């Protein structure tokens, strides 16, 4: 008699310090390595992003202020950003640029995944280089590949993982998780293995795990690049409805047409900054020469 095949064992992912790094940073890319995780801070600088709110998902975030003051950065001998000065307060901000333009480095500086060689990045008055842990309580970050930040074996556990350091009671954590799963259409998948989710569902899970913490700002670095058309539309529709400040890095220009503000990053500098239509026209000129 043939032995019945046994189903593959799904290993539980680590919940230790390495998992914490996975939640905030994907593996470094050759051209844009990330900074190491920074220690937590206490007192007023710590903020309340992970513990405040009313149990919704991003519902109490509001609009933050992100400032770049004379920011420059290089990877080895290769300059990536040159003396960037920005003040970002709008609700929905798009960032576009060619490959290697520096746009992902710019985005990753907002929550301390990369720290500038010179100048300062401030989020709601906090210097990201000095108070990285506090800033990450106020700024959520979603990567292109959701697998880089999904760290738990089931959907509900992965969302709850984001609240493990909060002062919420077990019942309050459960309420937040349930609300997040419902909002992102994942309520029926609470106990589902995360590795079996579709690409679109994984990106929704990554968003839920960030927004359950009630950040003031959500930075998304090309969140739809790996998705098909249907899932791209689904994720984009959800991003449009978010009440928190959204900073969206993308190559998909149709996602930027209704933004409050669009930045064009070109050769490490802000080449255009303003409403979508004229700013995207300038991007076409820079990239296509027309």
- pLDDT tens profile 180-192: 999 999 999 999 9
190 neighbors 182 (Cβ within 8 angstroms): no
Provide the CATH number for the domain around residue 97. 3.40.50.300
Picking from 22, 46, 200, the residue whose alpha carbon sits closest to that of residue 113 is 22
pLDDT recorded at residue 126: 96
54 located within any domain: no
CA distances from 131 to 121, 124, 137, 200, 244 (A): 11, 11, 10, 33, 21
175 located within any domain: yes
Picking from 83, 73, 81, the residue whose alpha carbon sits closest to that of residue 117 is 73
Domain that holds residue 255: 64-288
Structure tokens at 247: 């900073």
44 located within any domain: no
37 located within any domain: no
Helix (H, G, I), strand (E, B), or coil: what is residue 258?
coil
The parts of the chain modelled with pLDDT lower than 50 are 1-22, 25-61
Split into its structural domains, the chain has a count of 1
Q: Which of the 8 DSSP states describes residue 192? A: S
pLDDT recorded at residue 35: 37
Q: In 139-184, which ranges are continuous DSSP H helix?
A: 155-161, 170-183
Residue with tokens 């901000």: 93
| Residue 32: how many other CB atoms lie within 10 Å | 19
Picking from 282, 251, 267, 280, the residue whose alpha carbon sits closest to that of residue 83 is 267
240 neighbors 258 (Cβ within 8 angstroms): yes
212 neighbors 30 (Cβ within 8 angstroms): no
pLDDT recorded at residue 18: 42
48 located within any domain: no
pLDDT recorded at residue 155: 98
pLDDT recorded at residue 288: 82
CA distances from 169 to 162, 174, 287 (A): 14, 9, 52
Helix (H, G, I), strand (E, B), or coil: what is residue 283?
helix
pLDDT recorded at residue 62: 54
285 neighbors 266 (Cβ within 8 angstroms): no
pLDDT recorded at residue 251: 93
Q: Which of the 8 DSSP states describes residue 223? A: T
Helix (H, G, I), strand (E, B), or coil: what is residue 184?
coil
168 located within any domain: yes
Structure tokens at 172: 């309050």
- Bridge partners, 265 (sequence order): 97, 270
- Mean pLDDT over the full length of the chain: 83
């Amino acid at each position: 008699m043939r032995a019945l095949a046994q189903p593959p064992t799904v290993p539980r992912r680590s919940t230790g310090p390495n998992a914490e790094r996975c939640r905030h940073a994907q593996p470094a890319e050759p051209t844009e390595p990330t900074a190491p995780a920074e220690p937590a801070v206490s007192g007023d600088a710590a903020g309340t992003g992970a513990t405040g709110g009313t149990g919704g998902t991003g519902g109490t975030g509001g609009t933050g202020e992100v400032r770049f003051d004379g920011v420059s950065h290089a990877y080895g001998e290769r300059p990536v950003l040159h003396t960037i000065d920005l003040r970002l307060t709008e609700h929905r901000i798009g960032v576009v640029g060619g490959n290697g333009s520096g746009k992902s480095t710019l985005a990753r500086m907002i929550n301390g995944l990369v720290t500038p060689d010179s100048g300062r990045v401030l989020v709601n008055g906090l210097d990201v280089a000095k108070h990285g842990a506090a800033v990450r309580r106020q700024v959520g970050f979603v990567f292109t590949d959701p697998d880089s930040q999904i760290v738990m074996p089931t959907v509900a556990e992965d969302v709850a993982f984001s609240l493990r350091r909060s002062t919420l009671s077990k019942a309050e954590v459960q309420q937040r998780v349930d609300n997040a799963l419902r909002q992102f259409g994942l309520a029926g998948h609470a106990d589902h293995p995360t590795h079996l989710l579709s690409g679109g569902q994984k990106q929704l899970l990554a968003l839920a795990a960030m927004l359950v913490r009630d950040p003031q700002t959500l930075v998304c670095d090309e969140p739809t690049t790996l998705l098909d058309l249907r899932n791209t539309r689904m994720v984009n529709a959800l991003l449009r409805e978010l009440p928190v400040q959204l900073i969206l890095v993308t190559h998909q220009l149709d996602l930027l047409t209704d933004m409050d503000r669009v930045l064009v990053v070109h050769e490490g500098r802000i080449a255009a900054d303003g409403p979508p239509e004229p700013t995207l026209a300038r991007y076409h000129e820079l990239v296509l020469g027309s």
